[in-house]
Every structure is written in structure tokens, then in C-alpha cells.
């Protein structure tokens, strides 16, 4: 059998492949690989770039993690807080003190009505606000005739309002009076409120498959008006000691989730870190792996960081030199003893890449020799078997 034929035996081809792979693995430097990974995933920005991107960070923290579901609805007045101004006698309006949108206090003069009774001048009846609130509607004009059955003004006390959520009937069973919800009002810039469930609607919407869930909201700032659209995140359960980050910090597609973590000792440096995520709610997302408590994750500006490249800032080597106060190799790794002593590295044209230490070289040589010996024995065994068969 000719061992040097153009088609070597399958065993020898397999051994050659194993030898090549083994040498590649043995020659790899784990520390160097780790440093190169950090270099590739680290974005270092200038101060100007940080300001332009509007980078804001938040601390990853263990918290009481709440399970929520989404619903929509609207603001409504509380029926008992709706008052009406009317006249006890027929006549005409001779003085109108307020208009729709005005605020009144209980006891304020709002309308004066001239009676139809005879007199010179005819008697004038003064009408007072029956409650404090906002004039929602005015049904009369100056000089307009009125009857005792007429509603002249509608006054709403909006210091507290209802937020009525259209809750899927499948979720309604998870709620009870006292359940909480975070309620966003799209019409308001800072429109996040907390409400408490006080009651359910009297009937269900069979066509939509929903039931009204009525939450009580404080409106001391007088921002809410009936009819405003609401978006509800209704809380159904909670779990303690869950590591979570703000939702806006999470980037990437569903199969490859990443966050940007501020480097602990390099200013304006952010490490792109893959993460494994769990449950999410309206504000936070659970982190199973990839982030530690107290890590500072980028929230505002995190999406733009994915397109920032190296950000125009210093290299990883320059940043580490400045942060640690001593010189590093070009890839950011620590210098070897030979490099610190001014001795040439294995490859003078390696642009400062750290060379393996003497101890590492000895271990590498011993490991490589052992693997080569084993592979040689296997090759000789196959050659002897092939010759015996021939």
C-alpha cells in the first residue's frame, strides 16, 4: 500500500484534521480572547457624543416584580360630584358671573335671575354655587328666560375622578376591590397615575368581551378631564427579590437581547452585554443572566449606542492607560514581563500585542507534544492495520 498516494487513507485524513484543530485550540490564549471580546464589545464615547446621544443610565436592582396586563379606557366624573344650578322661580338672567371652564367655590354667586313677579324694580334672585368645582357647561345666556325646570349650569368636582378600564372578562377574575393599576394619560406629558379598583360595572359588553373596572384617581393637580383616553397596566401579582432593569434598556431582536452597561472604571465607556430575560411588565424586565445588581445600564440613548461604533472616543488601550495609570498593550491586555522589561516580544510586528509568558509557553509546548504523540500512535496503528489487510 502506498502511503503517499493522491488519496490518503480516511484515517490519516481524520487524524490530520484532528491535529490541525488541536494545534489551533492549544495555541489559543484564553486571556487574549477575553480581552479581544471586551475590545470588540466596548464603545467609548467622547463627552460631546454622550451629550448628543442623551445617554442616561439606571441601576439594575432586585425588586418586588409585578405581573401586569394591559387595558384601555377613559376618565369619567364621579356621579355624586356633579352639581346643577337652577332657579326656583321663573324669570330672566340679568347677571351671569361664570362661563364653562371657570372654577367656583361653594357659595359663590354664579347667576342672578330677575323674577316675573310685579315690582319696581322686579325682585332679583341670587343663585349660589352648590359645590366647589369647575363649570362644565353653561346652558344660558345673559337675558335668556328661565323656568324652574331649567338647568342653568353644570358644576363638576374633579378633585377625584374615575378611570374606567375595559377589562377582558378572562382577566376580570384576577381582580378584586383594592387592586392597583398604573394609568397613563397620553394627553399629558407626565401622565402616569396610580389608581385603586373601587368597583366593577353593572353589565358586561358581550360584543367586546369586556367588563368595566372602575379605578379611583386623585386629581388634586386638576389635570384630568372626563373623556380623556387612559392606558392601564393592571397589577395582578408580584414576586420579591427579582433582578430587573427598565424596559427601555433592552435592545436587540427577540433571539439576541443585549444591554449596554457602563464600564466601572473607564469614563464614557459602555459594554455591549448579551442577556437572558424573563417576565416583563409595563416598566421593567426581569434579567436571568448577563447583568449583576448595581450595574448601570443605559436607558435613554441605548438604541442609538448600537449604531455608535467606537463612538469617536479613545481606544480601549488609551482609556485603560488613563484609568489605571500604566501602559497596556494595544488590545488593552496587561503587558507581559518581557514587554515591561523592554525585551522584544515573539513577533515585533504584532503592534504591541501581549506575548505568552515563559510559563505559559512551557505548558503549551508540553500539551502540544502530548497530543502529537497520541495522534502519532493512532496513525501508526492505522498504517500497520492497512498494511496487514493489504
> Phi then psi for 149, rounded to 5 degrees?
-85, -5
Q: Is the pLDDT of residue 138 over 50?
A: yes
Q: Is the pLDDT of residue 246 over 50?
A: yes
44: in domain: no
Q: Using an 8 Å Cβ cutoff, are 195 and 213 in contact?
A: no
Give the mean model confidence (pLDDT) for residues 36-64.
86
pLDDT tens string 82-122: 999 999 999 999 999 999 999 999 999 999 999 988 777 88
Query: Are 73 and 183 part of one and the same domain?
Result: yes
Angle at 68 between CA 64 and CA 70, to 5 degrees: 155
Give the mean model confidence (pLDDT) for residues 254-274.
91
Give the mean model confidence (pLDDT) for residues 122-133.
94
Question: How distant is the alpha carbon of residue 91 from its chain centre?
Answer: 62
- Cβ neighbors of 17 (< 8 A, separation 6 or more) are none
Query: Are 168 and 73 part of one and the same domain?
Result: yes
Query: Are 99 and 219 part of one and the same domain?
Result: no
More confident residue, 23 or 59: 59
CA distance linking residue 173 with residue 150, whole number of Å: 44
304: in domain: no
Copy the grid coordinates of residue 12: 490519516
Among 87-91, 107-111, 210-214, 317-321, name the one with the lowest average pLDDT.
Answer: 317-321
Please tell me the pTM assigned to this model: 0.66
Query: Are 143 and 166 part of one and the same domain?
Result: no
- Mean pLDDT for the chain? 82
Query: Are 174 and 235 part of one and the same domain?
Result: yes
More confident residue, 326 or 362: 326
Report the DSSP pairing between strands 153-156 and 57-59.
Answer: unpaired
Query: Are 187 and 218 part of one and the same domain?
Result: yes
CA distance linking residue 344 with residue 341, whole number of Å: 9
Confidence of residue 18 (pLDDT cuts 50, 70, 90): low
Query: Are 373 and 228 part of one and the same domain?
Result: no
Q: Look at residue 353 in the predicted model and tell me its pLDDT.
A: 45
CATH number at residue 118: 2.40.50.100
Q: Look at residue 351 in the predicted model and tell me its pLDDT.
A: 45
User: Which of 271, 340, 333 is closest to 29 using CA atoms?
Assistant: 333
Query: Are 152 and 225 part of one and the same domain?
Result: no
Q: Using an 8 Å Cβ cutoff, are 214 and 71 in contact?
A: no
CA distance linking residue 25 with residue 133, whole number of Å: 78
Which structural domain range is residue 122 located in?
83-156
316: in domain: no
Confidence of residue 3 (pLDDT cuts 50, 70, 90): very low
Query: Are 175 and 73 part of one and the same domain?
Result: yes
Q: Look at residue 136 in the predicted model and tell me its pLDDT.
A: 93
Of 208, 240, 272, which closes a domain? 240
CA distance linking residue 136 with residue 151, whole number of Å: 12
- The domain total for the chain is 3
Question: How distant is the alpha carbon of residue 254 from its chain centre?
Answer: 14
SS (H, E, C) the chain: CCCCCCCCCHHHHHHHHHHHHHHHHHHCCHHHHHHHHHHHHEEEECHHHHHHHCCCEEECEEEEEEEEEEEEEEEECCHHHEEEECCCCCEEEEEECCCCCCEECCCCEEEEEEECCCCCCCCEEEEECCCCEEEEEECCCCCCEECCCCCCEEEECCCEEEEEEEEEHHHHCCCCCCCEEEEECCCCCCCEEEEEEEEEEEEEECCCCEEEEEEEEECCCCCCCCCCEEEEEEEEEEEEEEEEEEHHHCECCCCCCEEEEECCCCCCEEEEEECEEEEECCCEEEEEECCCCCCEEECCCHHHHCCCCCCECCCHHHHHHHHHCCCCCCCCCCCCHHHHCCCCCCCCCCCCCCCCCHHHHHHHHHHHHHHHHHHHHHHHHHHHHHHHHC
CA distance linking residue 212 with residue 61, whole number of Å: 35
Amino acid at each position: 500500500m502506498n502511503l503517499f498516494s493522491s488519496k490518503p487513507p480516511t484515517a490519516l485524513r481524520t487524524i490530520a484534521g484532528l491535529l490541525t484543530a488541536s494545534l489551533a485550540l492549544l495555541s489559543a490564549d484564553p486571556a487574549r480572547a477575553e480581552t479581544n471580546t471586551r475590545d470588540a464589545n466596548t464603545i467609548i464615547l467622547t463627552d460631546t457624543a454622550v451629550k448628543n446621544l442623551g445617554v442616561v443610565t439606571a441601576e439594575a436592582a432586585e425588586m418586588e416584580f409585578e405581573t401586569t396586563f394591559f387595558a384601555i379606557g377613559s376618565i369619567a366624573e364621579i356621579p355624586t360630584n356633579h352639581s346643577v344650578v337652577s332657579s326656583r322661580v321663573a324669570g330672566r338672567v340679568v347677571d351671569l358671573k361664570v362661563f364653562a371652564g371657570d372654577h367656583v367655590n361653594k357659595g359663590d354667586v354664579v347667576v342672578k335671575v330677575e323674577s316675573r313677579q310685579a315690582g319696581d324694580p322686579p325682585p332679583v334672585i341670587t343663585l349660589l354655587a352648590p359645590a366647589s368645582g369647575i363649570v362644565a357647561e353653561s346652558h344660558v345666556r345673559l337675558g335668556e328666560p328661565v323656568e324652574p325646570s331649567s338647568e342653568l349650569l353644570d358644576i363638576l368636582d374633579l378633585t377625584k375622578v374615575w378611570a374606567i378600564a375595559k377589562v377582558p372578562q378572562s382577566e376580570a377574575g384576577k381582580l378584586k376591590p383594592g387592586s392597583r393599576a398604573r394609568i397613563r394619560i397620553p394627553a399629558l406629558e407626565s401622565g402616569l397615575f396610580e389608581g385603586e379598583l373601587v368597583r366593577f360595572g353593572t353589565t358586561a359588553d358581550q360584543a367586546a368581551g369586556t367588563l368595566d373596572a372602575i379605578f379611583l384617581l386623585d386629581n388634586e393637580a386638576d389635570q384630568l378631564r372626563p373623556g380623556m383616553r387612559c392606558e392601564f397596566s393592571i397589577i395582578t401579582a408580584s414576586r420579591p427579590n427579582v433582578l430587573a432593569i427598565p424596559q427601555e434598556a433592552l435592545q436587540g431582536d427577540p433571539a439576541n437581547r443585549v444591554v449596554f452597561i457602563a464600564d466601572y472604571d473607564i469614563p464614557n465607556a459602555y459594554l455591549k452585554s448579551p442577556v437572558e430575560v424573563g417576565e416583563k411588565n409595563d416598566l421593567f424586565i426581569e434579567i436571568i443572566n448577563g447583568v449583576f445588581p448595581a450595574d448601570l445600564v443605559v436607558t435613554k440613548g441605548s438604541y442609538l449606542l448600537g449604531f455608535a461604533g467606537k463612538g469617536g472616543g479613545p481606544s480601549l488601550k488609551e482609556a485603560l492607560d488613563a484609568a489605571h495609570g500604566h501602559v497596556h498593550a494595544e488590545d488593552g491586555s496587561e503587558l507581559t514581563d518581557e514587554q515591561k522589561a523592554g525585551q522584544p516580544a515573539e513577533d515585533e510586528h504584532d503592534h504591541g500585542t501581549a506575548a505568552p509568558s515563559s510559563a505559559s509557553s512551557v505548558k503549551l509546548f508540553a500539551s502540544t507534544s502530548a497530543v502529537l504523540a497520541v495522534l502519532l500512535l493512532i496513525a501508526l496503528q492505522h498504517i500497520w492495520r492497512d498494511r496487514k489487510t493489504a
